[in-house]
């Protein structure tokens, strides 16, 4: 499935993602990592650690609705894979991100910005394995 | 007040994710599909996010404490081990299979699409798989 190259929307959206990360550091002094936020809710360690994460998730989930109100359409979301692949991929994402202590937001955005050595190793690792996986599934197995 | 602030932070992040194209698996697959229908948009997302976060963090860290008290907490480990590399490698594989990552999927939940909910349930399953492999006391804090 072809998609349209969107350099300006992607750069602007990326800048807002960064602004979110900066605002969280400014207000609460925390790294914005989606894996950490999710696992902090699933395995909550007390009310203080739970409440700000839940508030953040609520804000995040409201975003597509706000965009719909402002523009009259939902953000594009095309899922060209089967439910089985979503489940298998999801379990591997959860396992990998918790073992590796971060994902695209924690290691990618925040870790690289902090010049964290671990993130500088983690990000190329997951970018390469993702590209190899997409190559294999699309061009070798033809999923 | 702190929770409203956290919610707004999540909203900014979520709007960024939606505008950028990160929550569209078709675009994620095409970003990694160098040999096929390549769409380089997501490089602009990462670029925009890291530029803003890199500069913003350094402004924020001029303060002594975050707005809502506490301290600026961040992971300071520099240990490159099998868990980091293996976990990150796995994360990339899962991302390449499902097309969603946690930071994109949480805001995408607001579109009401069942595929997103399925993915997030699977990610949570992956967190539990990780807990079964290693006792809780060895579970590192995620970024």
Residue A87 within a domain = yes
Please give the tally of structural domains in chain A.
1
Q: Is residue B127 part of a domain?
A: yes
Number of domains, chain B = 1
Is A2 domain-assigned?
no
B81: Cβ contacts below 8 Å, ≥ 6 apart: none
Residue A15 and residue B49: Cβ atoms within 8 Å?
Answer: yes
Domain that holds residue A121: 7-140
Nearest CA in chain A to B125: A91
Query: How many Å apart are CA A128 and CA A117, to the nearest integer?
Result: 18
pLDDT tens-digit series, residues B38-63 = 999 999 999 999 999 999 999 999 99
> What residues of chain B, 87 to 126, have a C-beta less than 8 Å from chain A?
87-111, 113, 115-116, 118-126
The 10s digit of each residue's pLDDT in A83-107 is: 999 999 999 999 999 999 999 999 9
Q: CA torsion sign, A11 to A75 to A90 to A105?
A: positive
Here the tokens at position B97 are: 């299979």
Q: Which two tokens stand for residue B92?
A: 């990339």
Whether B143 is in a domain gets the answer no
Nearest residue to B66 via CA among A24, A141, A129, A44? A24
Residue B89 is assigned to a structural domain of this protein:
yes
pLDDT > 70 in chain A, percent:
100
Residue of A nearest to B58 (CA): A114
Structural domain includes residue A1: no
Q: Is A94 inside any structural domain? A: yes
In the prediction, which pLDDT does B76 show?
85
**Which structural domain, as residue segments, surrounds residue B111?**
2-138
Number of CB pairs, chain A paired with chain B, less than 8 A apart: 518
Interatomic CA distance for residues B85 and A75, integer angstroms: 33
- Is residue A135 in some structural domain? yes
- Domain assignment of residue A98, yes or no: yes
* Token digits of residue B119: 């993915």
Regarding an ipTM greater than 0.90, the answer is yes
Q: Check if the beta carbon of residue B141 is closer than 8 Å to that of residue A99.
A: no
Structure token digits, residue B23: 């929550």
Whether A53 is in a domain gets the answer yes
Of B89, B25, B7, whose CA–CA distance to A138 is shortest? B25
Each residue's pLDDT tens digit, B51-97: 999 999 999 999 999 999 899 998 888 999 999 999 999 999 999 99
């Amino acid at each position: 499935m072809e998609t349209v190259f969107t350099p300006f929307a992607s750069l602007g959206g990326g800048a807002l993602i960064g602004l979110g990360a900066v605002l969280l550091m400014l207000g609460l002094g925390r790294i914005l990592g989606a894996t950490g936020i999710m696992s902090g809710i699933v395995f909550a360690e007390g009310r203080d650690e739970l409440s700000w994460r839940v508030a953040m998730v609520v804000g995040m989930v409201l975003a597509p609705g706000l965009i719909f109100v402002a523009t009259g359409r939902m953000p594009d979301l095309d899922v060209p894979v089967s439910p089985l692949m979503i489940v298998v991929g999801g379990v591997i994402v959860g396992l990998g991100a918790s073992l590796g202590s971060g994902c695209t937001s924690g290691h990618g955005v925040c870790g690289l910005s902090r010049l964290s050595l671990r993130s500088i190793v983690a990000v190329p690792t997951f970018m390469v394995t993702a590209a190899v996986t997409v190559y294999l599934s699309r061009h070798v197995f033809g999923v | 007040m702190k929770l409203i602030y956290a919610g707004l932070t999540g909203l900014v992040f979520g709007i960024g994710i939606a505008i950028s194209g990160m929550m569209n698996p078709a675009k994620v697959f095409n970003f990694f599909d160098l040999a096929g229908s390549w769409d380089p948009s997501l490089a602009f997302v990462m670029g925009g996010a890291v530029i803003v976060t890199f500069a913003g963090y350094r402004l924020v860290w001029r303060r002594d404490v975050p707005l809502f008290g506490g301290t600026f907490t961040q992971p300071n480990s520099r240990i490159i081990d099998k868990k980091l590399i293996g976990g990150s490698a796995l994360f990339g594989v899962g991302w390449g299979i499902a097309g969603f990552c946690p930071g994109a999927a949480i805001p995408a939940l607001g579109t009401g699409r069942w595929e997103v909910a399925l993915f997030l349930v699977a990610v949570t399953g992956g967190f539990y798989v990780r807990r079964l492999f290693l006792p809780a006391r060895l579970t590192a804090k995620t970024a």
